[in-house]
Structure 1
Protein backbone atom coordinates (compact mmCIF):
# COMPACT_ATOMS: atom_id res chain seq x y z
CA UNK A 1 0.00 0.00 0.00
CA UNK A 2 1.39 3.40 -1.01
CA UNK A 3 1.98 5.66 2.04
CA UNK A 4 -0.21 8.72 1.48
CA UNK A 5 2.04 11.55 2.62
CA UNK A 6 1.31 14.26 0.05
CA UNK A 7 -1.20 15.41 -2.55
CA UNK A 8 1.00 13.87 -5.26
CA UNK A 9 0.99 10.42 -3.67
CA UNK A 10 -2.72 10.75 -2.96
CA UNK A 11 -3.35 11.53 -6.63
CA UNK A 12 -1.20 8.59 -7.77
CA UNK A 13 -2.93 6.27 -5.29
CA UNK A 14 -6.36 7.44 -6.46
CA UNK A 15 -5.40 6.83 -10.10
CA UNK A 16 -4.10 3.32 -9.38
CA UNK A 17 -7.15 2.53 -7.28
CA UNK A 18 -9.49 3.70 -10.04
CA UNK A 19 -7.62 1.59 -12.59
CA UNK A 20 -7.94 -1.43 -10.28
CA UNK A 21 -11.68 -0.92 -9.65
CA UNK A 22 -12.75 0.02 -13.16
CA UNK A 23 -10.29 -2.46 -14.67
CA UNK A 24 -11.79 -5.24 -12.54
CA UNK A 25 -15.25 -4.33 -13.84
CA UNK A 26 -14.01 -4.30 -17.46
CA UNK A 27 -12.14 -7.59 -17.03
CA UNK A 28 -15.08 -9.50 -15.56
CA UNK A 29 -17.54 -8.02 -18.06
CA UNK A 30 -15.38 -8.95 -21.04
CA UNK A 31 -14.46 -12.37 -19.62
CA UNK A 32 -18.03 -13.41 -18.84
CA UNK A 33 -19.35 -11.94 -22.08
CA UNK A 34 -16.78 -13.94 -24.07
CA UNK A 35 -17.07 -17.16 -22.07
CA UNK A 36 -20.84 -17.44 -22.34
CA UNK A 37 -21.48 -15.82 -25.72
CA UNK A 38 -21.22 -19.28 -27.31
CA UNK A 39 -24.18 -20.59 -25.29
CA UNK A 40 -26.25 -17.65 -26.49
CA UNK A 41 -25.41 -18.31 -30.15
CA UNK A 42 -25.80 -22.09 -29.99
CA UNK A 43 -29.53 -22.84 -29.97
CA UNK A 44 -28.94 -26.45 -28.85
CA UNK A 45 -27.56 -25.35 -25.47
CA UNK A 46 -29.19 -21.95 -25.21
CA UNK A 47 -29.62 -20.64 -21.67
CA UNK A 48 -30.45 -17.04 -22.50
CA UNK A 49 -33.03 -15.79 -19.99
CA UNK A 50 -34.50 -12.61 -21.50
CA UNK A 51 -35.01 -12.84 -25.26
CA UNK A 52 -35.74 -9.15 -25.73
CA UNK A 53 -32.97 -7.13 -27.35
CA UNK A 54 -30.99 -4.67 -25.28
CA UNK A 55 -31.76 -1.01 -25.96
CA UNK A 56 -29.67 0.82 -28.59
CA UNK A 57 -26.59 2.29 -26.93
CA UNK A 58 -27.38 0.51 -23.64
CA UNK A 59 -23.88 -0.89 -23.17
CA UNK A 60 -22.19 2.50 -23.55
CA UNK A 61 -24.73 4.10 -21.21
CA UNK A 62 -23.99 1.39 -18.63
CA UNK A 63 -20.25 1.90 -19.02
CA UNK A 64 -20.73 5.65 -18.53
CA UNK A 65 -22.61 5.15 -15.25
CA UNK A 66 -20.01 2.54 -14.27
CA UNK A 67 -17.24 5.11 -14.66
CA UNK A 68 -19.05 7.33 -12.14
CA UNK A 69 -19.57 4.34 -9.86
CA UNK A 70 -15.86 3.51 -10.06
CA UNK A 71 -14.94 7.12 -9.21
CA UNK A 72 -17.17 6.96 -6.12
CA UNK A 73 -15.74 3.58 -5.12
CA UNK A 74 -12.25 5.05 -5.62
CA UNK A 75 -12.97 8.03 -3.36
CA UNK A 76 -14.35 5.80 -0.62
CA UNK A 77 -11.47 3.34 -1.03
CA UNK A 78 -9.00 6.19 -0.76
CA UNK A 79 -10.70 7.28 2.45
CA UNK A 80 -10.34 3.74 3.79
CA UNK A 81 -6.61 3.72 2.97
CA UNK A 82 -6.09 7.04 4.77
CA UNK A 83 -8.08 5.76 7.76
CA UNK A 84 -5.97 2.58 7.83
CA UNK A 85 -2.68 4.47 7.69
CA UNK A 86 -3.78 6.76 10.51
CA UNK A 87 -4.85 3.83 12.68
CA UNK A 88 -8.61 4.37 12.48
CA UNK A 89 -9.56 0.91 11.18
CA UNK A 90 -9.32 -2.66 12.45
CA UNK A 91 -7.68 -3.98 9.29
CA UNK A 92 -4.83 -6.33 10.22
CA UNK A 93 -2.08 -8.11 8.27
CA UNK A 94 -0.92 -10.82 10.70
CA UNK A 95 -2.95 -14.00 10.06
CA UNK A 96 -2.41 -15.11 13.66
CA UNK A 97 -3.55 -11.86 15.26
CA UNK A 98 -7.13 -13.09 15.68
CA UNK A 99 -6.64 -16.79 15.02
CA UNK A 100 -6.91 -18.64 11.72
CA UNK A 101 -10.56 -19.56 12.31
CA UNK A 102 -11.55 -15.90 12.44
CA UNK A 103 -10.37 -15.37 8.84
CA UNK A 104 -13.19 -17.36 7.12
CA UNK A 105 -15.64 -16.38 9.87
CA UNK A 106 -15.00 -12.68 9.24
CA UNK A 107 -15.64 -13.11 5.51
CA UNK A 108 -18.87 -14.99 6.17
CA UNK A 109 -19.99 -12.38 8.70
CA UNK A 110 -19.30 -9.49 6.33
CA UNK A 111 -21.20 -11.22 3.51
CA UNK A 112 -24.15 -11.86 5.83
CA UNK A 113 -24.21 -8.22 6.99
CA UNK A 114 -23.89 -7.01 3.40
CA UNK A 115 -26.75 -9.27 2.35
CA UNK A 116 -28.99 -8.01 5.15
CA UNK A 117 -28.11 -4.36 4.55
CA UNK A 118 -28.59 -4.60 0.80
CA UNK A 119 -31.88 -6.52 0.95
CA UNK A 120 -33.56 -3.86 3.07
CA UNK A 121 -31.84 -1.00 1.21
CA UNK A 122 -33.02 -2.53 -2.05
CA UNK A 123 -36.61 -2.73 -0.86
CA UNK A 124 -36.41 0.88 0.31
CA UNK A 125 -35.06 1.95 -3.10
CA UNK A 126 -38.18 0.48 -4.69
CA UNK A 127 -40.49 2.77 -2.72
CA UNK A 128 -42.34 5.08 -5.17
CA UNK A 129 -40.88 8.29 -3.74
CA UNK A 130 -37.32 6.91 -3.83
CA UNK A 131 -37.18 4.72 -6.92
CA UNK A 132 -37.06 7.38 -9.65
CA UNK A 133 -34.32 9.36 -7.90
CA UNK A 134 -32.08 6.53 -6.76
CA UNK A 135 -32.69 3.16 -8.40
CA UNK A 136 -34.28 3.82 -11.80
CA UNK A 137 -30.90 4.13 -13.55
CA UNK A 138 -30.12 0.51 -12.77
CA UNK A 139 -33.56 -0.70 -13.87
CA UNK A 140 -33.32 1.11 -17.18
CA UNK A 141 -31.46 -2.08 -18.12
CA UNK A 142 -34.43 -4.45 -18.48
CA UNK A 143 -32.27 -6.95 -20.33
CA UNK A 144 -29.04 -7.15 -18.41
CA UNK A 145 -25.46 -8.15 -19.17
CA UNK A 146 -22.23 -8.09 -17.13
CA UNK A 147 -21.91 -4.42 -18.15
CA UNK A 148 -25.00 -3.70 -16.02
CA UNK A 149 -23.27 -4.73 -12.79
CA UNK A 150 -21.85 -1.24 -11.99
CA UNK A 151 -24.55 0.81 -13.72
CA UNK A 152 -25.93 2.83 -10.79
CA UNK A 153 -27.02 6.34 -9.95
CA UNK A 154 -24.20 7.99 -7.93
CA UNK A 155 -26.38 8.06 -4.81
CA UNK A 156 -27.06 4.33 -5.08
CA UNK A 157 -23.35 3.67 -5.62
CA UNK A 158 -22.58 5.63 -2.46
CA UNK A 159 -25.23 3.84 -0.42
CA UNK A 160 -23.88 0.48 -1.56
CA UNK A 161 -20.25 1.37 -0.91
CA UNK A 162 -20.44 2.91 2.57
CA UNK A 163 -21.15 -0.31 4.45
CA UNK A 164 -17.72 -1.95 4.09
CA UNK A 165 -15.81 1.12 5.38
CA UNK A 166 -18.11 1.21 8.41
CA UNK A 167 -17.53 -2.49 9.06
CA UNK A 168 -13.74 -2.26 8.97
CA UNK A 169 -13.87 0.44 11.64
CA UNK A 170 -15.59 -1.88 14.10
CA UNK A 171 -14.74 -5.40 12.82
CA UNK A 172 -11.24 -6.90 12.58
CA UNK A 173 -10.72 -7.98 8.95
CA UNK A 174 -7.50 -9.19 7.34
CA UNK A 175 -6.36 -7.11 4.37
CA UNK A 176 -6.53 -10.12 2.01
CA UNK A 177 -10.04 -10.95 3.26
CA UNK A 178 -11.12 -7.49 2.08
CA UNK A 179 -9.66 -8.24 -1.35
CA UNK A 180 -11.56 -11.55 -1.48
CA UNK A 181 -14.80 -9.84 -0.50
CA UNK A 182 -14.34 -7.25 -3.26
CA UNK A 183 -13.68 -10.00 -5.81
CA UNK A 184 -16.80 -11.86 -4.63
CA UNK A 185 -18.82 -8.66 -5.04
CA UNK A 186 -17.64 -8.12 -8.61
CA UNK A 187 -17.91 -11.81 -9.57
CA UNK A 188 -21.44 -12.02 -8.14
CA UNK A 189 -22.49 -8.84 -9.94
CA UNK A 190 -21.25 -10.19 -13.27
CA UNK A 191 -22.92 -13.60 -12.81
CA UNK A 192 -26.23 -12.17 -11.63
CA UNK A 193 -26.50 -9.76 -14.57
CA UNK A 194 -25.21 -12.19 -17.19
CA UNK A 195 -28.71 -12.95 -18.59
CA UNK A 196 -27.43 -16.47 -19.23
CA UNK A 197 -27.94 -19.20 -16.64
CA UNK A 198 -24.58 -20.81 -15.87
CA UNK A 199 -25.56 -23.02 -12.94
CA UNK A 200 -26.32 -26.71 -13.65
CA UNK A 201 -29.79 -28.16 -13.99
CA UNK A 202 -31.66 -28.59 -10.66
CA UNK A 203 -29.04 -26.50 -8.84
CA UNK A 204 -31.90 -24.35 -7.51
CA UNK A 205 -33.00 -27.39 -5.46
CA UNK A 206 -29.48 -28.33 -4.33
CA UNK A 207 -28.59 -27.79 -0.65
CA UNK A 208 -26.12 -25.07 -1.70
CA UNK A 209 -27.70 -23.78 -4.90
CA UNK A 210 -31.04 -23.02 -3.28
CA UNK A 211 -29.33 -20.28 -1.26
CA UNK A 212 -27.28 -18.70 -4.08
CA UNK A 213 -28.53 -15.98 -6.40
CA UNK A 214 -27.72 -16.40 -10.08
CA UNK A 215 -28.71 -14.92 -13.42
CA UNK A 216 -32.24 -16.35 -13.52
CA UNK A 217 -33.05 -15.19 -10.01
CA UNK A 218 -31.84 -11.64 -10.56
CA UNK A 219 -33.18 -11.37 -14.10
CA UNK A 220 -36.66 -11.84 -12.64
CA UNK A 221 -36.04 -8.83 -10.43
CA UNK A 222 -35.27 -6.70 -13.48
CA UNK A 223 -38.38 -7.91 -15.32
CA UNK A 224 -40.85 -8.10 -12.41
CA UNK A 225 -39.46 -5.38 -10.07
CA UNK A 226 -41.37 -6.58 -6.98
CA UNK A 227 -39.43 -9.76 -6.23
CA UNK A 228 -35.92 -11.14 -5.68
CA UNK A 229 -34.23 -8.28 -3.83
CA UNK A 230 -31.20 -10.23 -2.60
CA UNK A 231 -27.55 -9.58 -3.37
CA UNK A 232 -25.65 -12.88 -2.97
CA UNK A 233 -28.12 -15.17 -1.21
CA UNK A 234 -31.82 -16.00 -1.34
CA UNK A 235 -32.52 -16.40 2.37
CA UNK A 236 -34.04 -12.94 2.99
CA UNK A 237 -36.28 -13.35 -0.06
CA UNK A 238 -37.36 -16.73 1.26
CA UNK A 239 -37.90 -15.50 4.82
CA UNK A 240 -39.81 -12.38 3.73
CA UNK A 241 -41.69 -14.25 0.97
CA UNK A 242 -40.41 -11.93 -1.75
CA UNK A 243 -38.96 -14.66 -3.99
CA UNK A 244 -40.71 -14.79 -7.35
CA UNK A 245 -43.11 -17.69 -7.80
CA UNK A 246 -41.75 -18.00 -11.35
CA UNK A 247 -38.16 -18.64 -10.27
CA UNK A 248 -38.01 -22.46 -10.08
CA UNK A 249 -40.05 -22.91 -13.27
CA UNK A 250 -37.86 -20.48 -15.21
CA UNK A 251 -34.63 -21.92 -13.76
CA UNK A 252 -35.66 -25.44 -14.80
CA UNK A 253 -36.46 -24.19 -18.30
CA UNK A 254 -33.24 -22.24 -18.76
CA UNK A 255 -30.85 -24.68 -17.11
CA UNK A 256 -32.13 -27.78 -18.87
CA UNK A 257 -29.71 -29.02 -21.53
CA UNK A 258 -31.10 -28.24 -24.94
CA UNK A 259 -33.43 -25.49 -23.64
Structure 2
Protein backbone atom coordinates (compact mmCIF):
# COMPACT_ATOMS: atom_id res chain seq x y z
CA UNK A 1 0.00 0.00 0.00
CA UNK A 2 2.83 2.38 0.86
CA UNK A 3 4.54 1.86 -2.51
CA UNK A 4 1.18 2.37 -4.26
CA UNK A 5 0.58 5.68 -2.49
CA UNK A 6 4.12 6.79 -3.32
CA UNK A 7 3.43 6.48 -7.05
CA UNK A 8 3.27 10.00 -8.58
CA UNK A 9 -0.31 9.80 -9.87
CA UNK A 10 -0.34 13.52 -10.67
CA UNK A 11 2.02 12.77 -13.57
CA UNK A 12 0.00 12.28 -16.80
CA UNK A 13 1.27 8.74 -17.51
CA UNK A 14 0.45 7.38 -14.06
CA UNK A 15 -2.79 9.39 -13.90
CA UNK A 16 -4.21 7.97 -17.13
CA UNK A 17 -2.86 4.48 -16.47
CA UNK A 18 -4.63 4.38 -13.10
CA UNK A 19 -7.80 5.84 -14.62
CA UNK A 20 -7.76 3.16 -17.32
CA UNK A 21 -7.37 0.45 -14.68
CA UNK A 22 -10.29 1.89 -12.72
CA UNK A 23 -12.40 2.09 -15.88
CA UNK A 24 -11.83 -1.60 -16.59
CA UNK A 25 -12.67 -2.49 -12.99
CA UNK A 26 -15.81 -0.32 -12.82
CA UNK A 27 -17.18 -1.24 -16.24
CA UNK A 28 -16.44 -4.96 -15.90
CA UNK A 29 -17.97 -4.93 -12.41
CA UNK A 30 -21.10 -3.36 -13.89
CA UNK A 31 -21.31 -5.94 -16.70
CA UNK A 32 -20.58 -8.94 -14.46
CA UNK A 33 -22.87 -7.96 -11.56
CA UNK A 34 -25.71 -6.95 -13.92
CA UNK A 35 -25.25 -10.07 -16.03
CA UNK A 36 -25.09 -12.49 -13.09
CA UNK A 37 -28.08 -10.85 -11.42
CA UNK A 38 -30.05 -11.01 -14.67
CA UNK A 39 -29.18 -14.68 -15.13
CA UNK A 40 -30.10 -15.67 -11.58
CA UNK A 41 -33.43 -13.87 -11.34
CA UNK A 42 -34.65 -13.85 -14.94
CA UNK A 43 -33.39 -17.25 -16.08
CA UNK A 44 -32.41 -19.59 -13.28
CA UNK A 45 -34.99 -18.58 -10.65
CA UNK A 46 -37.62 -17.19 -13.00
CA UNK A 47 -40.23 -19.87 -12.12
CA UNK A 48 -39.88 -18.93 -8.45
CA UNK A 49 -40.08 -15.16 -8.85
CA UNK A 50 -42.12 -14.72 -12.01
CA UNK A 51 -45.03 -13.43 -9.92
CA UNK A 52 -42.78 -10.63 -8.67
CA UNK A 53 -41.78 -9.26 -12.06
CA UNK A 54 -42.93 -5.66 -12.35
CA UNK A 55 -44.68 -5.48 -15.73
CA UNK A 56 -41.51 -6.76 -17.33
CA UNK A 57 -41.52 -6.87 -21.13
CA UNK A 58 -38.83 -8.32 -23.36
CA UNK A 59 -36.00 -5.81 -23.57
CA UNK A 60 -35.42 -4.33 -26.99
CA UNK A 61 -31.87 -4.76 -28.31
CA UNK A 62 -31.75 -1.03 -29.00
CA UNK A 63 -32.38 -0.16 -25.35
CA UNK A 64 -29.85 -2.71 -24.14
CA UNK A 65 -27.18 -1.25 -26.44
CA UNK A 66 -28.12 2.26 -25.30
CA UNK A 67 -27.83 1.35 -21.62
CA UNK A 68 -24.45 -0.35 -22.05
CA UNK A 69 -23.13 2.57 -24.12
CA UNK A 70 -24.26 5.13 -21.57
CA UNK A 71 -22.96 2.97 -18.74
CA UNK A 72 -19.54 2.91 -20.41
CA UNK A 73 -19.50 6.72 -20.35
CA UNK A 74 -20.55 6.66 -16.70
CA UNK A 75 -17.75 4.19 -15.96
CA UNK A 76 -15.19 6.57 -17.50
CA UNK A 77 -16.42 9.39 -15.24
CA UNK A 78 -16.45 7.14 -12.18
CA UNK A 79 -12.90 6.03 -13.05
CA UNK A 80 -11.70 9.66 -13.10
CA UNK A 81 -13.44 10.14 -9.75
CA UNK A 82 -11.66 7.11 -8.30
CA UNK A 83 -8.30 8.39 -9.52
CA UNK A 84 -9.03 11.81 -8.00
CA UNK A 85 -9.91 10.07 -4.73
CA UNK A 86 -6.56 8.24 -4.71
CA UNK A 87 -4.70 11.51 -5.37
CA UNK A 88 -6.61 13.26 -2.57
CA UNK A 89 -5.71 10.37 -0.25
CA UNK A 90 -2.10 10.46 -1.43
CA UNK A 91 -1.88 14.21 -0.78
CA UNK A 92 -3.37 13.87 2.70
CA UNK A 93 -6.69 15.57 1.97
CA UNK A 94 -8.91 12.63 3.00
CA UNK A 95 -9.58 10.90 6.31
CA UNK A 96 -9.11 7.38 4.93
CA UNK A 97 -7.11 5.13 7.24
CA UNK A 98 -5.71 1.61 6.98
CA UNK A 99 -5.29 1.26 10.74
CA UNK A 100 -8.24 -0.47 12.45
CA UNK A 101 -7.01 0.70 15.86
CA UNK A 102 -7.20 4.35 14.85
CA UNK A 103 -10.80 4.38 16.10
CA UNK A 104 -12.88 2.32 18.57
CA UNK A 105 -14.42 -0.80 17.01
CA UNK A 106 -17.93 0.68 17.15
CA UNK A 107 -16.91 3.66 15.04
CA UNK A 108 -16.32 1.59 11.89
CA UNK A 109 -19.96 0.46 11.39
CA UNK A 110 -21.09 3.91 12.57
CA UNK A 111 -18.98 5.59 9.88
CA UNK A 112 -20.64 3.37 7.28
CA UNK A 113 -24.14 4.36 8.45
CA UNK A 114 -23.16 8.04 8.53
CA UNK A 115 -21.81 7.78 4.98
CA UNK A 116 -25.00 6.06 3.80
CA UNK A 117 -27.12 8.76 5.47
CA UNK A 118 -25.07 11.55 3.86
CA UNK A 119 -25.25 9.87 0.45
CA UNK A 120 -28.98 9.25 0.82
CA UNK A 121 -29.62 12.86 1.77
CA UNK A 122 -27.44 14.22 -1.00
CA UNK A 123 -29.03 12.01 -3.64
CA UNK A 124 -32.63 12.56 -2.54
CA UNK A 125 -32.42 16.33 -2.90
CA UNK A 126 -30.25 16.10 -6.02
CA UNK A 127 -32.81 13.72 -7.51
CA UNK A 128 -35.70 16.08 -6.78
CA UNK A 129 -33.72 18.94 -8.32
CA UNK A 130 -33.06 16.85 -11.43
CA UNK A 131 -36.82 16.43 -11.85
CA UNK A 132 -37.30 20.16 -12.38
CA UNK A 133 -38.58 20.36 -15.99
CA UNK A 134 -35.59 22.19 -17.53
CA UNK A 135 -33.00 20.10 -15.68
CA UNK A 136 -34.91 16.89 -16.34
CA UNK A 137 -34.98 17.41 -20.12
CA UNK A 138 -31.24 18.20 -20.28
CA UNK A 139 -29.90 15.71 -17.74
CA UNK A 140 -32.11 13.18 -16.00
CA UNK A 141 -34.23 12.12 -18.98
CA UNK A 142 -31.36 9.89 -20.13
CA UNK A 143 -31.94 7.66 -17.12
CA UNK A 144 -35.72 7.72 -17.52
CA UNK A 145 -35.47 6.63 -21.15
CA UNK A 146 -35.48 3.18 -19.52
CA UNK A 147 -39.11 3.08 -18.37
CA UNK A 148 -38.99 -0.73 -18.16
CA UNK A 149 -35.81 -1.05 -16.15
CA UNK A 150 -33.41 -3.95 -15.86
CA UNK A 151 -30.16 -4.61 -14.02
CA UNK A 152 -28.37 -2.93 -16.96
CA UNK A 153 -30.16 0.36 -16.24
CA UNK A 154 -28.26 0.94 -12.99
CA UNK A 155 -25.38 2.90 -14.64
CA UNK A 156 -27.29 4.44 -17.56
CA UNK A 157 -26.87 8.17 -16.83
CA UNK A 158 -26.25 11.42 -18.65
CA UNK A 159 -22.59 12.53 -18.18
CA UNK A 160 -23.67 15.52 -16.07
CA UNK A 161 -25.63 13.26 -13.74
CA UNK A 162 -22.70 10.86 -13.59
CA UNK A 163 -20.41 13.70 -12.51
CA UNK A 164 -22.88 14.81 -9.84
CA UNK A 165 -23.01 11.25 -8.54
CA UNK A 166 -19.25 10.70 -8.80
CA UNK A 167 -18.26 13.60 -6.54
CA UNK A 168 -20.14 12.45 -3.44
CA UNK A 169 -17.79 9.68 -2.24
CA UNK A 170 -14.62 11.81 -2.48
CA UNK A 171 -16.46 14.58 -0.61
CA UNK A 172 -17.56 12.17 2.11
CA UNK A 173 -14.06 10.85 2.84
CA UNK A 174 -12.60 14.37 2.86
CA UNK A 175 -14.68 15.12 5.94
CA UNK A 176 -15.60 11.73 7.42
CA UNK A 177 -12.88 9.49 8.90
CA UNK A 178 -13.28 6.01 7.42
CA UNK A 179 -11.26 2.81 7.20
CA UNK A 180 -10.34 1.77 3.68
CA UNK A 181 -12.24 -1.51 3.97
CA UNK A 182 -15.35 0.30 5.23
CA UNK A 183 -15.10 2.41 2.08
CA UNK A 184 -15.02 -0.81 0.04
CA UNK A 185 -18.19 -1.97 1.83
CA UNK A 186 -19.85 1.35 0.96
CA UNK A 187 -18.93 0.93 -2.71
CA UNK A 188 -20.21 -2.66 -2.63
CA UNK A 189 -23.55 -1.54 -1.18
CA UNK A 190 -23.81 1.15 -3.86
CA UNK A 191 -23.33 -1.45 -6.60
CA UNK A 192 -25.70 -4.07 -5.20
CA UNK A 193 -28.38 -1.55 -4.26
CA UNK A 194 -28.38 0.01 -7.75
CA UNK A 195 -28.64 -3.42 -9.35
CA UNK A 196 -31.45 -4.67 -7.12
CA UNK A 197 -33.47 -1.46 -7.38
CA UNK A 198 -33.36 -1.33 -11.18
CA UNK A 199 -33.73 -5.03 -11.97
CA UNK A 200 -37.53 -5.01 -12.15
CA UNK A 201 -37.87 -8.08 -9.92
CA UNK A 202 -38.96 -7.70 -6.30
CA UNK A 203 -36.72 -10.11 -4.42
CA UNK A 204 -37.75 -9.01 -0.93
CA UNK A 205 -40.46 -11.04 0.85
CA UNK A 206 -44.00 -9.91 1.63
CA UNK A 207 -43.07 -9.52 5.31
CA UNK A 208 -40.57 -6.76 4.46
CA UNK A 209 -43.05 -3.95 5.03
CA UNK A 210 -43.90 -5.29 8.50
CA UNK A 211 -40.28 -5.45 9.65
CA UNK A 212 -39.31 -2.35 11.69
CA UNK A 213 -35.89 -2.17 9.99
CA UNK A 214 -36.45 -3.67 6.54
CA UNK A 215 -39.41 -1.42 5.75
CA UNK A 216 -37.00 1.49 5.37
CA UNK A 217 -34.99 -0.24 2.61
CA UNK A 218 -35.72 0.48 -1.05
CA UNK A 219 -36.25 -2.43 -3.42
CA UNK A 220 -37.33 -2.94 -7.02
CA UNK A 221 -41.00 -2.11 -6.49
CA UNK A 222 -40.20 1.22 -4.88
CA UNK A 223 -37.81 2.38 -7.60
CA UNK A 224 -39.79 0.85 -10.45
CA UNK A 225 -42.69 3.09 -9.46
CA UNK A 226 -40.38 6.10 -9.72
CA UNK A 227 -39.55 5.21 -13.31
CA UNK A 228 -43.24 4.84 -14.12
CA UNK A 229 -44.80 7.65 -12.05
CA UNK A 230 -41.90 10.17 -12.07
CA UNK A 231 -43.35 12.26 -9.20
CA UNK A 232 -42.63 9.87 -6.35
CA UNK A 233 -39.95 7.70 -4.73
CA UNK A 234 -36.75 9.75 -5.08
CA UNK A 235 -34.74 7.78 -2.52
CA UNK A 236 -31.55 5.84 -3.17
CA UNK A 237 -31.10 3.28 -0.38
CA UNK A 238 -33.82 4.15 2.12
CA UNK A 239 -37.41 5.35 2.15
CA UNK A 240 -37.21 7.79 5.07
CA UNK A 241 -36.78 11.01 3.08
CA UNK A 242 -39.70 10.05 0.84
CA UNK A 243 -41.82 9.30 3.91
CA UNK A 244 -40.77 12.48 5.73
CA UNK A 245 -41.29 14.74 2.71
CA UNK A 246 -44.51 13.09 1.51
CA UNK A 247 -43.02 11.97 -1.81
CA UNK A 248 -43.54 8.23 -1.44
CA UNK A 249 -45.99 6.81 -3.96
CA UNK A 250 -49.42 6.18 -2.41
CA UNK A 251 -49.50 3.01 -4.52
CA UNK A 252 -46.25 1.59 -3.13
CA UNK A 253 -47.48 -0.64 -0.31
CA UNK A 254 -50.45 -1.93 -2.30
CA UNK A 255 -48.33 -2.83 -5.32
CA UNK A 256 -45.59 -4.33 -3.14
CA UNK A 257 -48.18 -6.61 -1.54
CA UNK A 258 -49.53 -7.58 -4.97
CA UNK A 259 -46.09 -8.34 -6.37
CA UNK A 260 -45.11 -10.51 -3.43
CA UNK A 261 -48.28 -12.57 -3.29
CA UNK A 262 -47.63 -16.29 -3.95
CA UNK A 263 -48.35 -17.19 -7.54
CA UNK A 264 -50.65 -20.20 -7.32
CA UNK A 265 -50.57 -20.62 -11.11
CA UNK A 266 -46.83 -21.30 -11.29
CA UNK A 267 -44.85 -24.27 -10.07
CA UNK A 268 -41.22 -24.20 -9.01
CA UNK A 269 -38.90 -25.69 -11.59
CA UNK A 270 -41.43 -25.54 -14.42
Q: Could you say which TM-score interval applies, normalised by the shorter chain? A: over 0.9
Aligned to 1:185: 190
Provide the aligned length of Structure 1 versus Structure 2. 259
Aligned to 1:101: 106
In 2, Cα distance between the equivalents of 1:44 and 1:11? 43
- The answer to which of 215-224 and 78-87 deviates more is 78-87
Where do 5+ consecutive residues of structure 2 fail to align?
A: 265-270
Alignment of 1:61-140 (within 5 A): 61-140=66-145
Corresponding position: 1:142 with 2:143: no
Q: Measure how far apart 1:154 and its partner are.
A: 0.4
Contact 1:213/1:233 (<8 A) preserved = yes
Aligned to 2:176: 171
After superposition, give the CA deviation of every residue in 1:35-75 in whole Å (9 maximum; x if it has no partner): 10147853884211024443441111001000010000000
Contact 1:40/1:196 (<8 A) preserved = no
In 2, Cα distance between the equivalents of 1:169 and 1:246? 39
Q: 2:258 aligns with which of 249, 253, 256?
A: 253
| Pairwise CA RMSD | 1.7
Aligned to 1:229: 234
What TM-score do the two structures reach when normalised by structure 1?
Answer: 0.95
In 1, Cα distance between the equivalents of 2:26 and 2:61? 26
- The answer to which of 188-197 and 81-90 deviates more is 81-90
Contact 2:202/2:220 (<8 A) preserved = yes
Where do 5+ consecutive residues of structure 1 fail to align?
A: none
In 1, Cα distance between the equivalents of 2:140 and 2:45? 28
SS at the partner of 1:202?
helix
In 2, Cα distance between the equivalents of 1:244 and 1:44? 23
In 2, Cα distance between the equivalents of 1:218 and 1:101? 32
What TM-score do the two structures reach when normalised by structure 2?
Answer: 0.91
In 1, Cα distance between the equivalents of 2:72 and 2:43? 28
In 2, Cα distance between the equivalents of 1:56 and 1:217? 26
In 1, Cα distance between the equivalents of 2:239 and 2:44? 26
In 2, Cα distance between the equivalents of 1:9 and 1:163? 24
- The answer to which of 52-61 and 34-43 deviates more is 34-43
Contact 1:202/1:252 (<8 A) preserved = no
After superposition, give the CA deviation of every residue in 1:144-173 in whole Å (9 maximum; x if it has no partner): 001000000000011111111111111111
